[in-house]
Chains A and B, each alone.
Chain A
Amino acid sequence: MNIVANLPVLVIIIPLISALLIPPIGRLNRTFSWYVAISATFLSFLISISLLDTVMANGRISYRLGAWEPPWGIEYVVDYLNSFVLVVVSFIAFIMTVYSKKSVEKEIERSKIPFFYSVYVLLVTGLLGMIITGDIFNLYVFIEISSLAGYTLVAMGKKRDALIASYNYLILGTIAATFILLGIGYLYMVTGSLNMGDLRERLPMLYHSKVVLTAFAFFTVGLSLKLALFPLHIWLPNVYTHAPSVVSAVMAATSTKVGAYVLLRILFSVFTVEFDLHSVPITKILLLLSVLAIIAGSVLAIAQTNIKRMLAYSSVGQIGYIVLGAALANQLAMTGSLLHILNHALMIGALFMVVGAIAYKTGIEEISGLKGMGKKMPLTMAAFTVGSLSMIGIPLTVGFVSKWYLALGALEAGMWYFIPVILVSSLLTAIYFWRIIESIYFGSAESETGHADYALVHNPHPVFGNRGDAPLGMLIPTLLLASLCIVFGIAAFIPVSVATQAAVMLLGAN
């Protein structure tokens, strides 16, 4: 069997089979479940790199499942956009798996740990599948796989609030997925095809048709919920706050990004730019929503006292950037949007891993509990500082790179008024992050708010094991992502070249 030729499907099969194998293996030895998870995610990562490499050398890869011809068979397509997002997601998934061991031991019941890893790997399978598939119904299946895995993982959080968060997420997520299913149905109805490439060719003559418009509407709404675009973001804060730390980290760094990827695919590869600009004023709607997301996310983040919730609202804002870039629909802005998929994944991944490390070491989840943490967990806090500076958009960090492209894209589109939005939100971001940095390093004895000991009073676990940084297993992945925030901020040309190619492809002829 030719492995290389079958890589596109192996990137899914390996995690899928591993997910099935983990529970029985975990029965024998709990740690083995972690090893299998690591191997699966690592192999997927390697395959993603290989696919990216192939795409860069040879162009688009088209893979037929079971050698059935499209549009009757399911086709997997790997192009610049896909492979880029595949690498990002599989990399994050792998790093998070390495990170997860200690965190999971502390936050999840021991007997459930193998099941945790099984569902976790299923989540990864679903996400990778969403990215790589070229068949629209296959997309729905993978959306549901990743969503169901997500609901389960979230529900494993410590407090009972996790259950409610998961339930609400389930209801909203299922409605959204069903909308997507409806959209698929309408498209199938008028074209008879489920293959994305095929649809792209058949749809243009149907652009005027109400059926197509309805399908488009259902898609957009359903996907907007998945990627938590304001105002369909309401499930996100509770989910990120109450889920186990690793789950928040992984979902924040990947799920919404993959949702964004799917939206881009539908908007630009199935439908085309012409449709988006002329048939439906979707770009204008998305522009408006993205601005609302950016502002609302930043403002709401300032009001939070729980770190995870603050990061959740911050994410809502950052997703706004991605959509803004896509909706501006020119090459510079789209490049920025795609870059932000990588950059935000790195930043928020690092930040959530820091929060998880703090929770692991001290149980603290309130911002007020972070006073003076700079001395107790210096390296972890350094990672937090780097991530924060990157979010604010200091030059030489990845955050700056995304904003640079978005700003230039806005100017290119003649819509300079988006630049103040980006800049103001950077300042708002600075407010809620700098507040924490100040507290971490310069935490003064008196606190103006009187919340000084709230965390300690309400937290039954006083600071234990406090003279020490996070354990190495958690520290190294965190530092790795944090340093990548700088590496790709300086050596930005690596992701930029891929993102630019992907942007050109999305916006131009296929």
Chain B
Amino acid sequence: MEMIELILGKYNYWIYIALMMIGFYATIAKENLIKKIIGLNIFQTAVFLFYISIGKVDGGTAPILWDKAVLYDNPLPHCLMLTGIVVSVSTTAVALALIIKIYKAYGTIEEDKILEMGEEEKTPTPGSWPQGSR
């Protein structure tokens, strides 16, 4: 009985853990740079879900002022996660911009191929970037 309660009662945590692991795995194991970012996103989303889920109060309603409401959910995690989502989006944006440049510079976005290409020998002179416009 206790086991069932452990699994069913805390389902929010299980979901978040599962998502987090999936995202984590994708980030590390996938070779494609974009898939890594997707993994990162899943990872971060899991954390958002975690935060929001802990803000749920039994019997509480959405944290919007309503005169018929008796109990509200905790609005703070929601606000915190808005910030978190902003951070996540910014990170994704930077990452995607990087990936575009990497593609232009290396011609591929598969990590193993990039590693094969090794460290660049020549130092390009400023103003004459070797792979087109940056």
Contacts and interface: CB of A to CB of B under 8 A. Distances in A.
Instruction: Please say whether the chains A and B touch (CB closer than 8 A).
Output: yes
Interface residues of B, number: 40
Interface string A166-190: 1100110011011001100100110
B2 interface: no
B28 to A, nearest CB: 9
Given A181-B47, A182-B47, A460 B123 contact: yes
B19 to A, nearest CB: 12
B40 A171 contact: yes
A137 interface: yes
Contacts of B47: 178, 181-182, 185
Interface residues on chain A, size class: 35 or more
A275 B27 CA distance: 33
A182 B24 CA distance: 14
B98 A166 contact: yes
A109 to B, nearest CB: 6
Contact of B124 (A159, A167, A365): A159
Contacts of B27: 171, 175
Given A109-B126, A110-B127, A163 B101 contact: yes
A171 B44 CA distance: 12
Nearest to B106: A160
B98 A161 contact: no
B129 interface: yes
Interface of A is mostly: helix
A144 interface: yes
Contacts of A181: 47, 84
Contacts of B120: 159-161
Given A110-B127, A163-B102, A167-B102, A175 B91 contact: no
A155 B101 contact: yes
Contact of B98 (A108, A151, A188, A459): A151
A164 interface: yes
A175 B122 contact: no
Contacts of B54: 185, 188-189
A152 interface: yes
Contact of A158 (B94, B106, B123): B123
A109 B44 contact: no
Contacts of B106: 160
A106 interface: yes
A85 to B, nearest CB: 23
Contact of A109 (B43, B84, B94, B134): B134
A151 B92 CA distance: 12
A246 to B, nearest CB: 14
Contacts of B114: 164
B123 A163 contact: no
A109 B95 CA distance: 20
Among B51, B83, B123: residue with most chain A CB under 10 A: B123
Interface in B90-134: 90-91, 94-95, 98-99, 101-102, 105-106, 114, 119-127, 129, 131, 134
A181 B123 CA distance: 39
A159 B122 CA distance: 8
Given A107-B126, A167-B33, 15 more contacts: A106-B126, A110-B127, A137-B80, A152-B94, A158-B123, A158-B126, A163-B101, A167-B99, A170-B98, A175-B24, A177-B87, A185-B47, A365-B123, A460-B123, A460-B125
Interface of A: 106-110, 137, 141, 144, 148, 151-152, 155, 158-161, 163-164, 166-167, 170-171, 174-175, 177-178, 181-182, 185, 188-189, 363, 365, 458-461
